[in-house]
Structure 1
Amino acid sequence: MPLLLLDLDNTLLDRAGPFRAWGERFLADVGAQGADIDWLLSMDADGLADRWDVADAIRDRYGLLISSLDLVEELYEGVLANTRLDPLVACALRIADNAGWMPVVISNGILRQEDAKIRRTGLDRYVADWVISEEAGIGKPDARIFALAAQRVRMPLHGAWVVGDGPEADVGGAAAAGLPSVWLHRGRAWTDSRFAPTRTADGLIAAVATVLAA
């Protein structure tokens, strides 16, 4: 049974939409201009920026008295409250499982937050297991986290595919581990000359179809 190693944010679960929804509501609450959402999205860097740095930048820009700790928690809870598992994603995972593939999530993130996200959305019912970088002590693109995921479910890494939207973390990590990959382009062009995805797709459903057909 080959492994299907899957990224979490903006691969299995949409993060960009829920973050924007939280940001627009938060900015309205603090009396900021609507156009400031572009600044906030830039600071967030599609979820790659450190949460504490984002919180500090928000506090400084708007002169807020809320602590960075409370703001980080509000950001996390606000995004999670708007996060839903797309039924089509659940269907694609079920199809992969029925076709003999074992879906496993590999996410760079904080254990408490990522674990809660996986369980509260019901994603845990459609994957065999998950590995979170904070718990593992290593993160993508380190090839060891892919080997750890295989060890976690007691399956060989050979024959696995990696699916994700991160050029460095997912595709670069797959290349480091010697694995084929599907990059979810989300409207972006590939620009990294160090490595390249084996396939590209516009979403998880297309990515699963690509892996099954390979």
Structure 2
Amino acid sequence: MIDISRIKAITLDLDDTLWPVWPTIAGAEVALSDWLNQYAPATAALSQEPELKKAVRAEIAQRHADQAHDLSFLRREAIREMLLRAGDPGHLAEAAFEVFFAARQRVELFDDALPALAFWSQRYPVVALSNGNADVHRVGIGQYFHASVSAQSLGVAKPDLRIFVAGAQAAGVLPHEVLHIGDDAHADCVGAMDAGMQVVWLNREGKDWPQANHPSHPAPVQVAELNALCALWLPPTKGDPPARLSSSA
């Protein structure tokens, strides 16, 4: 069960919690391809080979394993590698990445995202806690957030304990006073549990809890949409029992 009386802040994942990430990335890839067609056509042609692009990104990730937390860096360097392999100037990577990055901020929010953000931001400091490189201000929802902590800015990614502690510190509270909400069972839920936070798993697709055989990580409270979670704070309609959620929700 969620103990509302303990909550003094909320940390919130972004990608696949407030919006579906892969349509966003696909749109950013199209924007990048259009730019390359205009300014680096040889690279644009080379980029039409999906297996090569995949191999280049894997090579860059291996070469810069110490930067695994920084998706922007890895994406920029993968673009640079493609430019060089095609015989185009490597310095174009900066401009090309900015095109990709700007398009990456054009998200389509889930229907329940804005109402939930408005609801919680009136009650608690809300801190974005993301492994991705979305910018809540460029997305257009910065007004709902007290702070934003990313793997890129901190140097470690979820489920590392330190990013959850940093999220609590950004809100000015202790980890056990935080409710963390996210869609990733391992990165969000296991990480937040280990940090001592209360946890809600946003399980939009009705997946099974993958940690079922790990008693140290029992299934957390789960919801299929954020509206169901917000209902916990609302008084029941006359004749209805109070809203309750459990790990079997």
- Give the TM-score normalised by structure 1: 0.69
Q: Distance in 2 between matches of 1:52 and 1:197?
A: 37
- Specify the SS of the correspondent of 1:135: helix
> What value does the CA root-mean-square deviation take over the aligned residues?
3.8
Cα 1:141/1:181, change in 2 over 3 Å: same
Q: Distance in 2 between matches of 1:131 and 1:70?
A: 25
- Asked whether 1:65 is paired with 2:88, we answer yes
- Specify the SS of the correspondent of 1:74: helix
Question: What residue in structure 2 maps to residue 21 of structure 1?
Answer: 27
* 1:41-60 equivalent positions in 2, closer than 5 A: 50-52=74-76, 54-55=78-79
Q: Distance in 2 between matches of 1:179 and 1:207?
A: 16
Question: What residue in structure 2 maps to residue 201 of structure 1?
Answer: 223
Shift of 1:125: 1.0
Question: What residue in structure 1 maps to residue 148 of structure 2?
Answer: 130
Q: Distance in 2 between matches of 1:149 and 1:92?
A: 19
Q: Distance in 1 between matches of 2:168 and 2:162?
A: 10
Work out which of the residue numbers 8, 15, 39 in structure 1 matches 2:14: 8
Shift of 1:198: 0.6
Identify unmatched segments of 5+ residues in structure 2: 1-6, 38-43, 59-68, 235-243
Q: Distance in 2 between matches of 1:207 and 1:65?
A: 51
Moved more, 166-175 or 67-76: 67-76
- Specify the SS of the correspondent of 2:157: coil
Shift of 1:90: 1.9
Moved more, 137-146 or 49-58: 49-58
Moved more, 134-143 or 19-28: 19-28
Question: What residue in structure 2 maps to residue 145 of structure 1?
Answer: 163
Count of aligned pairs between the two proteins: 201
Work out which of the residue numbers 80, 83, 104 in structure 1 matches 2:107: 83
Contact 1:24/1:34 (8 A) holds in 2 = no
Identify unmatched segments of 5+ residues in structure 1: none
Cα 1:206/1:26, change in 2 over 3 Å: farther
Shift of 1:178: 2.3
**Which has the larger Rg?**
2
Question: What residue in structure 2 maps to residue 191 of structure 1?
Answer: 210
Work out which of the residue numbers 116, 125, 135 in structure 2 matches 1:92: 116
Shift of 1:77: 2.0
Shift of 1:7: 0.9
Contact 1:2/1:158 (8 A) holds in 2 = no
Question: What residue in structure 2 maps to residue 121 of structure 1?
Answer: 139
> Which runs of at least 4 in structure 1 moved beyond 6 Å after TM superposition?
31-35
- Specify the SS of the correspondent of 1:96: helix
Shift of 1:119: 1.1
CA deviation vs aligned residue, 1:70-129 (integer Å, no higher than 9, x gap):
44333212222x22555741211222244x3432211225xxx54xx2112332211222
